[in-house]
Amino acid sequence: MADPATMPLIEVDNLGVRLNTSRGPAQAVRGVSFALKRGETLGLVGESGCGKSVTALSLMGLLPDSAVITGSIKLDGRELARLPDADYCSLRGNRISMIFQEPMTALNPMHTVGHQVAEPLRRHKKYSAAHARREAIALLDRVGLPDPARRIDAYPHQFSGGQRQRVTIAMALACEPDLLIADEPTTALDVTIQGQILDLIADLVEERGMSMILISHDLGVIAENVQRMMVMYGGTVVESGPTDEVFRRMGHPYTQGLFRARPKLGARKGTRLTTISGTVPELADLPVGCAFGERCPLVEDKCRVALPPMVEVGPAHVVRCVRTDVSMAANVGALSA
Amino acid sequence: MSVFVLRRVLTLLATLVGASVIIFLVLDALPGNAAQMLMGADASADAVRALTVKLGLDQPLAVRYLQWIKGFVVGDLGNSYVYGTPVGSLIAERLVLTIPLAIMSMLITVVLALSAGIYTAANHNKLGDVGVMSLTQIGIALPNFWFAILLVLLFAVRLQWLSAGGFAGWEDGIWPGVKSLLLPSISLAVVQAAILARVTRSAVLEVLREDFVRTARAKGLGKREVLWSHVLRNAMIPVMTVMGLQFANLLAGTIVIENVFYLPGLGRLIFQSIANRDLIVVRNCVMLLAAMVVIVNFVVDVLYAFIDPRIKVHDL
């Protein structure tokens, strides 16, 4: 038996999720594996529909009833995949918490924020109403909501987007979870607020020794906030490794494309943004080989035959590509920037 | 909150004044002279003219309107042209039946519709949902008078638990009155409940798709807890709107059921008065109905504000 100190907190092995969409069954996630120790942070990057949110929701056990999960998700060695909902309820908001993308709609407009922050405390810790209220005020204070003792009885519509996101963070942290999943926590916010919220999340993760999975389509956010990163495309992980290592030497043509497509400060006016040509493939209609094949500048016949295997290109740095010899010769990443 | 209510009260009064003007003008423009009607076609012109003066029908329009409004304030609505009795007591006699009937059918409607609507939404696309929704489809298609006759055949003729018609009044206590209104209120409630159940179901389903439902689940609340503590209150706004419309309809639109069960309700009074050109009764009944509809809507609006904290700051 492994030493509990080094044993991963969460261990995902060959996770697959099939969803029933209006266009038929879709393999939204396939062959995703990773492990996260206590206190470690992991970033998930990719475009909309690449399977990053579905991966997060499967960790939370919040996929639609019709979704079919294969593979394994273990929390401290306990299998979570296909766990009955009643058992999952005692973990959610307690040991695993999630912050969602849209603070404007993630709070119930009919309840006060105090009620909503107190809810997980009352449910998991069985606090009395008064105790939960005191704790909720302390939490709202910790996340930087001004005048929490008074504002606790206000309704969500009386707060700004950034303040609401602080409230959802307080909610997610109420029971001091071991794992925090933040799904695009700043995408819906003003740029000026984004940094504050990310700093707050980073401070809290550090302070409480939580593990975090941060989901974003923004490479900048990932670069600054997580130790390790995984790039997803078409439901699979196409590149994964320590954040510094991946940014130093990007291996997958898709990661490189994402990197090149970021807007650059100081670019001459009228310069067009670089794009990745083509569109994300329909998950209901994925190609047999590499999911990125249709859009890849380096595509060859062998890419279309079967899903490429993971190739190790550096310390703990793996890339799902058969053409890394060519792609990595270009030295895309911090080296070339 | 108080500003909100005050504003709504002012709107309510303005609506009532507007309604009274329209009702007065429309009924005045109606062809047929009330005095002529009452005296019969053979009456002499002098006699008709005398009655016209006696009824005050020779006065200018504005004077008659103001007299009518003054009647509301002092509580004297005048006498029926046909029965000669005060219109106020004529209407009051009918209201002791119509209002309890409306309340009873509304209660049955709400109990049936909310339980069916919530159950089907919680079991979306499962067998129970399909089954109950098919029943509501039948409920909507049923003519309520036909269903009423079936109820009479079963409970009055065959089982003899309830009487087939008539109203027992409230003199002998509550139970005989309630008992005589039971079958009529069930007949009225079935169709309404079918409609309201479908409204409830779609309202609940819509809220279930909201982001905050997922947030609540992410806190560890079970599906049932989320439904009760987060979904229902949000789903109540459209449900209450339809409930208000249905209640207003129960006050005025029950004449068919009143006829099936021989009930002396407001609907029948209006129908008879129209047939008799008893315009003073018609005018006051229509005004009363307008007032009740406006008041029901007012109550619904105030309830919105109680349910939804966002409405207090917005103007309706």
User: Do residue A196 and residue A112 come from a single domain?
Assistant: yes
Mean pLDDT, residues A231-248 taken together: 93
Range of the domain at A200: 104-209
Provide the percentage of residues in chain B whose pLDDT is more than 70: 96
Rounded to an integer, the average pLDDT of B8-25 is: 90
Question: Does A87 share its domain with A129?
Answer: no
Higher pLDDT, A49 or B250: B250
Distance from CA of B123 to the nearest CA of A (A): 12
Place of tokens 């119509």: B98
A109 & A60 share domain: no
Q: How much is the pLDDT for B132?
A: 93
Kindly determine whether residue B217 and residue A108, on different chains, have CB atoms separated by under 8 Å.
Answer: no
Q: Is the pLDDT of residue A232 over 90?
A: yes
**Average pLDDT of chain A, as a whole number:** 88
Of B218, B223, B309, the CB nearest to A110: B309
Work out the percent of chain A whose per-residue pLDDT is above 70. 96
Per residue in B120-176, pLDDT tens?
999 988 899 999 999 999 988 988 889 988 988 898 888 888 887 788 778 888 888
The verdict on A232 and A312 lying in the same domain is yes
Q: A218 in a domain, yes or no?
A: no
pLDDT per position as a tens digit, A169-214: 999 999 999 999 999 998 888 888 888 899 999 999 999 999 999 9
pLDDT in tens, B210-220: 999 999 999 99
Q: What's the total number of domains in chain A?
A: 2
Question: Do A174 and A254 lie in a common domain?
Answer: no
Tell if the CB–CB gap between B216 and A119 is shorter than 8 Å: yes
CA distance B7 to chain A (A): 23
Identify whether A217 is part of a domain. no
Nearest by Cα to A255 from A312, A329, A310, A333: A333
**How far away is chain B from the Cα of A124, in angstroms, using its nearest Cα?**
8
Of B220, B307, B308, the CB nearest to A92: B220
DSSP state of A111: S
- In the stretch 186-245 of chain B, residues with CB closer than 8 A to chain A read 210-212, 214-223, 230, 233-234
Tell me whether residue A66 is exposed, middle or buried, using C-beta atoms within 10 angstroms of its C-beta: 0 to 12, 13 to 18, 19 or more: exposed
Alpha-carbon distance A212 to B295, whole Å? 55
Question: What is the pLDDT, as a whole number, of residue B1?
Answer: 56
Residue A121 has pLDDT above 50, yes or no: yes
Average pLDDT over residues B184-196: 93
Is A97 a domain residue?
Answer: no
Predicted confidence at residue B31, as pLDDT, reads 64
A241 and A335 assigned to the same domain: yes
Q: How many CB pairs under 8 A join A and B?
A: 71
* B257 Cβ contact list (under 8 Å, min separation 6): B144, B145, B148, B184, B187, B188, B263
Q: Are residues A314 and A169 in the same domain?
A: no
Contact residues, chain A, for B212 at CB < 8 Å: 105-109
B287, B20 Cβ separation under 8 angstroms: yes
Give yes or no: residues A77 and A145 share one domain: no
Q: Which of A57, A83, A105, A108 to mutate to test the interface with B (most CBs of B within 10 A)?
A: A108
User: How high does pLDDT run on average in chain B?
Assistant: 87
What pLDDT is attached to residue A1?
A: 47
Q: Given this structure, which CATH class describes domain B95-312? A: mainly alpha
Q: Position of tokens 């043509």? A: A253
The CATH number of the domain holding residue A309 is 3.40.50.300
Percent of chain A with pLDDT over 90: 56
A168 neighbourhood in chain B, CB within 8 Å: 215
Q: What is the pLDDT of residue A50?
A: 87
Exposed e or buried b for every residue in B79-118, given b needs 16+ CB within 10 A?
bbbbeeeebbebbebbbebbebbbebbbebbbebbbebbb
Separation in Å, CA of B244 to nearest CA in chain A? 21
Q: Describe chain A by its helix, strand, coil percentages, rounded to 5.
A: 35, 25, 45
Give the contacts of A7 (CB within 8 A, at least 6 positions apart).
A37, A76, A77
Q: How many residues does chain B have?
A: 316
Q: What pLDDT was estimated at residue A336? A: 46
Helix (H) or strand (E) holding A163: helix A161-173
Q: Is residue A191 assigned to a domain?
A: yes
User: Which chain B residues touch A62 with a CB distance below 8 Å?
Assistant: 214, 217-218
Whether A220 is covered by a domain: the verdict is no
Inside any domain, residue A139: yes
Q: Which long-range contacts (CB under 8 A, 24 or more apart) does A295-301 make?
A: A295/A254, A295/A257, A296/A253, A296/A254, A297/A253, A298/A253, A298/A323, A298/A326, A298/A327
Same-domain check for residues A258 and A337: yes
Angle of the B2-29 helix axis to the B279-307 helix axis, nearest 10? 160
The pLDDT of residue A301: 87
Picking from A85, A100, A110, the nearest residue to B215 by CB comes out as A100
Query: To 10 degrees, the CA torsion angle through B198, B203, B205, B208?
Result: -160
Specify whether A240 is located in the same domain as A332.
yes
Interchain proximity A93–B210, CB inside 8 Å: no
Task: Kindly state whether residues A126 and A27 are assigned to the same domain.
Answer: no
